Amino acid sequence: MNDRSSRIIIFFGTLIATLLVVLIVVLLTSDDPDPVLSAAETSATTVVTSTTSSPPATSGTTTAPGTTAAPATTAAPATSAATPTTAPPQVYLLPEGFGPIVRGVDENDLVASGDLVFDGWDATDPPDGYWCGWGSGAGPQLGLVGTQIFEFGIGVVYVTDPSVVTPEGISLSSSEANIVAAYGPPDEQHAGPYVTSESWNYYQFGAHGYRFIFDGGSMQQMQAGDWEKLHLGEGCL
């Protein structure tokens, strides 16, 4: 055996002896039976845990943020509808008269009720044997009508304001054609007893009627009341 071979054998023998010593020291000083493997496993476990862990599962139902309900508004109390004002009923000139001033009513009762002002008698001792006087409307009838009074009370009512109308709409502003259209041809018609240009037109409704006096196409008088008294040429005669 030469020197070179001896040196190689000595080197490997020393190397093996050194490794054995190191292994024995490691085994004696470590509690972990396989410290190298244990450290590797621990490192791997740490990596896996850190990469696979996920946040805690949350409920599948997402709770919407609470909405704040608007405060209930209190409706304003209902107000009662304004009471409509009722217009007074239309008062027409009827064949009997106007409002409470109608044929046969005692003039004293009308004066007491405030519907008439008594203007006086035409004569205190008339030669024809009956009384005849005059009155004027008062209260609601003020300025609208006047009346002719006889011994039995109200006889004829005559219109003094164009606002007074018959149920058919005839007033002091109506024409003869308007009256014919409303009532037909007159039941009676003649010229005035003193003014011959006047036309006196009568319409009878039982014991009452109308008399319309025209002159030159314009109405001069519009009267209603007792059919007989409407024919008096001078009112009282």
Extents of the domains making up the chain = 1-29, 94-231
* pLDDT at residue 225 is higher than 60: yes
- Tell me the DSSP string of 110-156: HHHHTSEEEEEES-SS-TTSS-EEEEEE-GGGTTTEEEEEETTEEEE
Pairwise pLDDT comparison (19 vs 30), residue with the higher score: 19
In this prediction, residue 31 carries a pLDDT of 56
Of 81-85, 202-206, 213-217, the range with the lowest mean pLDDT is 81-85
Q: For the chain, what is the mean pLDDT?
A: 79
User: Domain 94-231 is in which class?
Assistant: mainly beta
Q: Compute the distance between CA of residue 74 and CA of residue 162 in angstroms, rounded to an integer.
A: 56
